[in-house]
């Protein structure tokens, strides 16, 4: 079986690859693509896979934009962290979704559903319809109306053989430094977090945390004032600890819009 995996979070991708290896459904390691653009190029230059496991939020946007731009004719099993999705158009064709975090048993169940679909086709049943614009719009509407993101309220951080519970409202800013992402509190204490800055940004409430540059996010509750800086950048001065952060020139316009709410 030829499988394509669309997943932007490395831990989730590794877990899915382990589950597929355990299930023994593919002779080769499936390709893992993290963005809409890379998935589009792959689909344009390769034959259609037998099955796609697709996350919904990818690095550069929503996976539904991919299915608008390219006609996918194989079944899709969606993997999502959202707990409300309307997928009736897919269930009749053997397409399912897995709610993160999901288990190996749930992956097995979805694969059995796919195998049942293949068996019905081999027995002369009509092939399922391709992913139509009407279905894409139905899913987009469901995502917009029903999906309610749940943002992180706290992190469990291991430091010096102990676990600390760090509340997100106590984080002044988040900083990526030499491959490690740290949360920094009002006292300047740095707490190592799991995941990249981009992954953590999606877990934090965007009304509270804004992007400064490629390596930093700031909590609006700790921003005292913002001053112009050269090269169209801004200096952000925090309320506690005397810390100052700087926006990048590319991020400055978006940061200004975020400040205005």
In this prediction, residue 136 has a pLDDT band, given cuts at 50, 70 and 90, of low
- 122 and 214 in a single domain? The answer is no
pLDDT value for 132: 55
Q: What confidence tier does 146 reach under pLDDT thresholds 50, 70, 90?
A: very low
What is the pLDDT, as a whole number, of residue 88?
A: 37
Average pLDDT, the chain: 83
**C-alpha dihedral sign at 140, 142, 145, 149:** negative
State the total domains in the chain: 2
What tens digit of pLDDT does each residue of 14-48 get? 999 999 999 998 888 999 999 999 999 999 999 99
Examine the domain organization and report whether 204 and 93 are in the same domain: no
Calculated CA dihedral for residues 116, 117, 123, 128, nearest 10 degrees: 170
pLDDT at 168 over 50: yes
Give the tens place of pLDDT for each residue, 46-102. 999 999 999 888 888 788 888 888 988 888 888 877 544 444 335 433 366 777 778
Whether the CB-CB separation of 77 and 1 falls below 8 Å is answered with: no
Token pair, residue 15, equals 């877990």
> Which of residues 146, 180, 200 is at a domain's end?
146
pLDDT at 147 over 80: no
Contact between 4 and 53 under an 8 Å Cβ cutoff? The reply is yes
pLDDT of residue 85: 45
3-state secondary structure 156-223: EEEECCEEEEEEHHHEEEEEEECCEEEEEECCCCEEEECCCHHHHHHHCCCCCEEEEECCEEEEHHHE
Q: Which residue has the higher pLDDT, 163 or 201?
A: 201
Decide if pLDDT at 125 tops 80: no
Q: Domain check: are 15 and 141 in the same one?
A: yes
Q: What are the backbone dihedrals phi and psi of residue 117, each rounded to the nearest 5 degrees, phi first?
A: -65, -45
| Predicted pLDDT at 67 | 83
Q: Tell me: do 96 and 220 sit in the same domain.
A: no
Domain boundary among 97, 127, 146: 146
134 Cα distance to chain centroid: 24
Range of the domain at 124: 3-146
Same domain (yes/no): 17, 99: yes
User: Residue 95 has what pLDDT?
Assistant: 60
């Amino acid at each position: 079986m030829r499988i394509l995996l669309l997943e932007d979070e490395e831990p989730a991708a590794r877990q899915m690859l382990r589950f597929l290896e355990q299930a023994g459904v593919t002779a080769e390691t499936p390709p893992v693509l993290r963005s809409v653009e890379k998935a589009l190029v792959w689909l344009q230059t390769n034959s259609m896979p037998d099955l796609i496991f697709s996350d919904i939020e990818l690095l550069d946007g929503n996976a539904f934009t991919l299915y608008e731009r390219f006609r996918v004719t194989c079944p899709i099993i969606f993997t999502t962290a959202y707990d409300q999705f309307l997928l009736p158009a897919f269930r009749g064709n053997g397409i399912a979704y897995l709610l993160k975090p999901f288990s190996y048993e749930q992956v097995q169940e979805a694969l059995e559903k796919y195998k049942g679909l293949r068996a019905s086709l081999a027995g002369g049943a009509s092939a399922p319809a391709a992913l139509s614009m009407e279905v894409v719009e139905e899913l987009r509407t469901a995502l917009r109306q029903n999906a309610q993101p749940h943002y992180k309220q706290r992190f469990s951080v291991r430091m010096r053989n102990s676990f600390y519970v760090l509340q997100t409202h106590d984080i002044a800013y988040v900083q990526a430094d030499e491959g490690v992402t740290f949360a920094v509190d009002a006292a300047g204490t740095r707490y190592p977090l799991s995941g990249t800055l981009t992954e953590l940004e999606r877990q934090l409430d965007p009304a509270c945390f804004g992007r400064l540059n490629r390596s930093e996010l700031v909590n609006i509750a700790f921003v005292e004032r913002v001053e112009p800086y050269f090269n169209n950048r801004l200096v952000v001065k925090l309320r506690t600890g005397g810390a100052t952060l700087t926006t990048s020139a590319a991020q400055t316009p978006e940061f200004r819009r975020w400040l205005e709410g």
